[in-house]
Structures are given as C-alpha cells and as structure tokens.
Chains A and B, each alone.
Chain A
Amino acid sequence: MGHQISRRTLFRTASGVAAATALGGTLSACGGGTGAGTTSDKLTMTWWGSDDRHKAYKKALKYFQEKNPKIKIEERYSGYDGFFDRFNTNVAGGSAPDLTQMDTALVAQYARKGVIAPIDEYVGKSLDLTGFSKTLLAAGTVDGKLYGVPSGIGVNQLTINRSGLEKLGLELPDREWTWADLKKIAVEVNKKSGGKMFGVDDGGGGTLQAFEVFAREKGQPFFAADGTKLGFTADTLQEWWEYWVGMRKDKACPGPEITSAAHNNLTKNGLVIGKTLITFDIGVYGAGGSITKETLDFLPSPQGDWSGAREGNFVNGGVLLSATKASKRIEDSVKIMNFFAQDKTAIKDMQLQRGIPPTEKARSIVAPDLTDIDKRNMEAADYISKRVAKASNALPAPTPPPKGADQIWDLLFQSNLAVAFGKKTIKAQLGEFFDQAEQILAK
C-alpha cells in the first residue's frame, strides 16, 4: 500500500460510517411503498382471537371448502395485539385480505374511509339474515348501510369468581344489583380475606361494562349520535371518578400498580392472579374459560341507584365479518358470511367462540354441547338482553364509535390512572380529559 492510514482518519471515518448507517434505518422504516396485491387465487381471510377460536374457525372453514371446492381460503390469524396495525399496513400496501373479522368499535371508521364494502345488495339473496334482530344488525350498520355481519350477541357483563366468593362465605349478588351493592360486597371481600384480596378491579378507567353503562344510566351516551362529540357531561365523569376514589380508599378495589399491570395484559388481570373476585374485563371468560380454574359466573353491569336512573345496559354484535372494498371476491366473501350466519355445522363448530350466537335457531343448535360455564354465560346474556328489550327508558344502542374512539378510551384509562397514582386531582384531570378528547375528535 502506498500510504499508511492514520488512526485519526480511521476512527473518524469509522465513526462517521457507523453513524450514517445507524441513522438511515429510522427514516426508511417510515417511508411508504406500494406493494403488489395478492396474486394467488386464494381468498384471504383474517381474524384475531384465542387458540380455541382459531381451532373453531379452521374446523368450520375446512368444512366450507369441502362443500365449495372452488373457493380456496388462505387463513391468517393472530391475537388482538397488533392485529389492526397489520391490517392497516396491508391495506396501505395493497395486500388487504378479502374477508376479515372486524371490531364493532372500528367498523365505522373503516366504512367511512372506504376500506370495507357495504353488503346490502346481497341481503335476502346470497346472504340470509333471517333471525337477526335490528338492534343486533345496528352493530354493523354505518350511515344506514350494512358493513358487516354480527357474529353474536355481546352484552355488558361482569365476570365473577363465584367459588372465590363462596370460600369467603359470600353469596353471588342479585342480578338487579346497583353500584352501591358492588361497593358493599367488594368491601366485604377485602375484610373477610384479611386484606389480602379486593372485591373488584378498578373500573374508573374502563369504558365497556363500566363508564359507558354508568353514563347511559344518567341518560347520556358515550358518543353523541353524530359521532363528532362526547355525549356525556363533565359532572357525570366527575361523579364516576369520585365513586372510584371512594372504592380505592375503602380497599374495595386494588391500587394503581395492579390496574396498570393488567392493562392490555390478561395474564395480569386481578381475577386471574387471584387478587380480585370481580372483573370488568370480559376477556377473562372470552379467552376460552381456561385462564382460571375457578368457577366463573356473570352479572349485568350494576344499575344506577339514584332516582330516575335509566337502563344502561345494551346489546351489541360481538365481532363482525366484513369484506374489503378492494377485493375482487366480495361475492365469495358474502358466501362465507352466510355460511357462518346460518350453516348448522359452522354454528356448531363456533360454539360461543364469537359471542352468544345471534339467532334463536343458532342458540338452540349450540345448546346441547355447551359446558357449564358457557351455559351460565348464555343464560346471563339472555337475561340482560330480555331486560334491555323490555326497558322503556333505555337509550338506543350506541352507534358504531367514531374515528379516534380507541384513543379516547385509552385517554379515559390513563386519566383514571393519573388520579389513582395521585399525579392529578380529579378537577385538573377533567379539564385535560375534555380538552384532549375534543382535539382527538376534531381530527
């Protein structure tokens, strides 16, 4: 070699090259790109769920393909975590699935963005929705058009560790219980367990089964009907948070560390780890009932105990099946939706994996094979949906939530947590909550 490389040149160059390489990564990871669409002749179907749900879907789809040899299905499935991150990326990259399980909470935003297809033209022809009630179909209806077939009835239930209560010498509360009853029994749990256990997990940041029901009992929906504003007042939220401050003070529910650890993590849920006996998280049972060995039972969300309290519970549609708009196989996708809605084998295979089956006929098909816990769940759901149907003072079922709804739910959770950790007063946090929520909805 003609010259010696000096150490100075060497290290400066090396540091520079390394810096450049390391930097390039972030930026290129953010760039978009137009991917090619799926080229195979298979119909892609995606869903999220537990292992049990995967098995049920696969079994049913196998039967479908035997009956319809012309339709070959590529199945893509995973847990809920990151499911829609992936879905978004696929849609953006032009490789959206043809058919997807859809969250009732997100259907409105995907419908309005033109990602999923309206299917009204097939109803009564290749899509038979006999036996689906209007309130049920509302869960898949956006701006008057149907964008997804509901898989079943979802109701607001609290999951209760009944055997745990019995061990402490306590009884399962009555189905007509109120928020005051919840506090009473939760305090009892803490006392009788010698302070080792708490009655219920902290619902102050919870939407489903929790604040949404409470607000409806006050006659206020979570989102205003047009979806551009919040439907509840600051007073309502303040009263709700104060209730939970009292709950934490009286050790009816655990402190914020346990609440925050359980966020998005079922394995840390208070009921699962044996810290609480009542949970707002419907996932504890939805995970297949296998996550805890205790005997579980179900109760509707508590009722308001003030005068003029209204029925706050409501019925929604479990999950939906939706076809994507860019798909060339919408007709085939509708065929599969119809199969899950009406086919005897499919209904039998799915059991309660996607909620309580939507029609009377379907419920009678699954009834004989149900496990005890499934029976209790179905019975409780039946009780609530009948009570809701009879109630004269119930608000209409919520419309599919607007864009940004998931950010607002997270904001509610974080706000309650900030109060619980003592980082913010209720008053200060209320102001912040409404400011940020308005900003999110304005986008």
Chain B
Amino acid sequence: MTTAKTDEVVTEPTAPEAPSDQRERDRMRRRAARRRGGGWWPYLFLAPWFVGLFGLTIYPMLDSLYLSFTDFDLLSPAKWVGAQNYSRMFHDDPKFWGSVSVTTLYVVVSVPLKLALALAVAVLLNRPLRGLGFYRAAFYLPSLLGGAVAIAIMWRQLFGGDGLFNDFLGWFGIKGQDWISNPDTSVYTLILLAVWQFGTPMVIFLAGLKQLPQDVYEAAAIDGAGVLTRFFRITLPLLTPIVFFNVVLQIIGAFQTFTPAYVVSNGTGGPLDSTMLYSLYLYKKGFTDLEMGYASALAWVLFLVIAVFTAINFIASRYWVHYDD
C-alpha cells in the first residue's frame, strides 16, 4: 500500500479505491462491448479469473458444505450422516466450546487494543515529521512479518521460562514465569503478538487522516478547541468510515487466526487447550484426527458466525459511522 505525500491532494485512500474503480471500469467495458456487439469476447478474457473463482473457491466451498453433512476420514469415501456433525458440536463436544471461548476472548481483547494502538500511532505520525517515511516503515514492518512462522517462533522464545521477557523483568527484581506454558497467561501472549502487528490498520488510518479537510481544524483552533476536543469532535467522527473498514477486517481476521497459535503451542493448542483457537481446533480435527466431515461443519459454523458479526457491524454502522457526503 502506498500513501501520498503530505502536500499532494489525496482524494481517496488507495486500497478501498481499487475494487470499485475496477467495477466502474468493468461496467464501462461491458457497455462498450454491448455497443460493438462483441458478445463473448469479454468472457474469454475473463475466463482465467472464472476458472480460479469456480475451481478454487466456489467448488471447494460447496464441496465442504456437502462434507459437513458426512462422516469423512479423508481415506475412505464420505458417508452421509445428516446434521449429526452439527448436533455433536453443540451437545457433545466440550473442546468445541473451549475453543469458542478462547477465540472469543482473543477477538474481543485483541481487536480493540490493536485498533486503538493503530489509531494512536497514526495520529502521532500525521504531522510534518523528519524521517516520517522511516517511522512509518518501522511501525508497518511487524505486520509484514506477522504471518511468518519465524516471528511466532521468536515469540515462543521471548515469553518462554528462560526468555528475554523474563530477563527484562529480572532487571527490576521480578521473577517471571513461563508465560507460554502457563494456561492462565498463554493466550495473552498471542493477543500481544496480534496487537504488535498493528501496522496495516495504522497505514489505512494514516491515509484517512491525511485527507481530512484542514479548514475545519483551522476553524476549531480559532474557536479555541484543545487537542483532545479536536480529536474527539473532529478527527474521530470524520474518520469513522475508516474505523468501520478496519473493524470489519480485523474482526474477520482475528476469528480466523491460525498460524501464531499453531506455532507458539507447537501445534497442540496447549497448555490445557488455552491457545486452542477455533481455526487450530478445526485443523486438528480435520488433518490430525481425520474427521474431515466434522471439520467442514466447524468451518461452516465459523463462516456463519463471522457473517453474522459482519452483518451486525454493517447494521450498527448506520448509527455511528459518519459519511461526509
């Protein structure tokens, strides 16, 4: 993602612009095609994309919907069992509820913290600052590395019993514990890892901040509004569309978190299932315990949960998101 320099007039941030711009172009292209009467030509050029959409997304999705109603162990043919997988999940599987509560905690704590930090840093960086590009890159870097296995391994070392974090506490005479292998603290190390990767929403916030109209601020300054008043009365309301965008994306991403939990817990979700995030449980059911039918059902429940959350987000946004049309 690129952000424009301060002196340029930025109309829209780049990321959200791309898809709708594309749509506009598609629409114009379709109109042009109709005029020329070249009916099937556009579809030929779109074919590679359709192959990907149907072959790699829609077909596997439908397949997994079918599998979610079967008993399928990957090795022998799937057997139809009706809604058994779904009823087992809700009535018969304490580990499912365990992973739901760990995941809920993870989402509810990590998303607000991450967004608050991202916004705070973005506000700090939104001023003529020498070496701004460097800071921006430095804060963004963890997000680029975030999905990487190497970072999760480093995290395991940092917060282990003999890790750097405890050495640091040792300077102040505090005797730390093994944060990763204690079931009461392990999930918070994952939350910390997520919060640390605040770069992506920060860059989006920064892009949004740069296009806020300056005249409002000048007027407010003349009226004697302080820094806090300006932030809460001007910046935040004007920025709500971008906050909304980030909230939607981060919630979806947090629900689907897999890699850090897998790596930090060595693929076990331990200790005592305290890092058994939903996606990790799903993976273990499917690929380790060979219950792919059940795993597919788990995936669909996750899909529905995320869809509901997203819908709630969109509905609620009517009441708090302020569009400056």
Contacts and interface: CB of A to CB of B under 8 A. Distances in A.
Contacts of A19: 248-249, 252, 310
A260 to B, nearest CB: 4
Contacts of B167: none
Given A14-B245, A32-B67, A421 B272 contact: yes
B96 interface: no
A113 B76 contact: yes
Given A10-B12, A19-B249, A92-B74, A30 B178 contact: no
Nearest to A3: B24
Given A10-B17, A82-B267, A114-B76, A28 B249 contact: no
A8 B20 contact: no
Interface residues of B, number: 72
Contacts of B160: 261, 268
Interface in A405-428: 406-407, 410, 414, 417-418, 421, 423
Interface string B6-25: 00000010011101100110
A414 B270 contact: yes
B272 A414 contact: yes
B17 A27 contact: no
A25 interface: yes
Contacts of B325: 6-8
B167 to A, nearest CB: 16
A258 B59 CA distance: 46
Interface string B295-314: 11001101100110010001
Given A30-B299, A256-B271, A24 B12 contact: no
A6 B323 contact: yes
The majority secondary structure among interface residues of chain A is helix
Interface stretch (B111-119, B139-147, B222-230, B286-294): B286-294
B299 A258 contact: no
A418 to B, nearest CB: 6
Contacts of B181: 256-261
B248 A265 contact: no
Most buried by B among A15, A28, A418: A15
B60 interface: yes
A391 interface: no
B162 interface: yes
Given A11-B244, A30-B295, A258-B178, A17 B183 contact: no
A89 B287 contact: yes
A410 B20 CA distance: 50
Contacts of B76: 113-114
Contact of B182 (A1, A92, A257, A264): A257
Given A91-B75, A256-B271, A30 B60 contact: yes
A399 to B, nearest CB: 20
B151 interface: no
The majority secondary structure among interface residues of chain B is helix
Interface residues of A, number: 62
B245 A18 contact: yes
B235 to A, nearest CB: 16
Contacts of A264: 266-268
Nearest to A9: B20
A239 to B, nearest CB: 23
B286 A25 contact: no
B287 A88 contact: yes
B256 A22 contact: yes
A260 B268 CA distance: 10
A30 B295 CA distance: 8
Contact of A30 (B17, B242, B270, B296): B296
A111 B60 CA distance: 29
B241 interface: yes
A11 B16 contact: yes
Interface in A21-66: 22-33
B178 A26 contact: no
A28 B323 CA distance: 34
Contacts of B24: 1, 5
Given A15-B248, A25-B256, A423 B303 contact: no
A11 B60 contact: no
Contact of A85 (B183, B244, B288, B300): B288
A437 B65 CA distance: 29
B279 interface: yes
Most buried by B among A8, A22, A259: A22
Nearest to A96: B75
A13 B20 CA distance: 7
Given A19-B249, A265-B266, A414-B273, 4 more contacts: A18-B245, A32-B63, A89-B74, A257-B181
19 contacts: A7-B241, A7-B324, A8-B241, A11-B16, A11-B321, A13-B16, A13-B23, A14-B19, A26-B256, A27-B61, A27-B64, A32-B63, A32-B64, A88-B74, A91-B75, A92-B292, A257-B177, A258-B178, A260-B270
Interface of B: 12, 15-17, 19-20, 23-24, 56-57, 59-65, 67, 72-76, 92, 94, 160-162, 177-178, 180-183, 241-242, 244-245, 248-249, 252-253, 256, 266-268, 270-273, 279, 282, 286-290, 292, 295-296, 299-300, 302-303, 306-307, 310, 314, 321, 323-325
Please list the 6 inter-chain residue pairs (A to B) with the smallest Cβ-Cβ separation, ordered nearest first: A31-B60, A14-B16, A260-B271, A92-B74, A31-B63, A261-B181
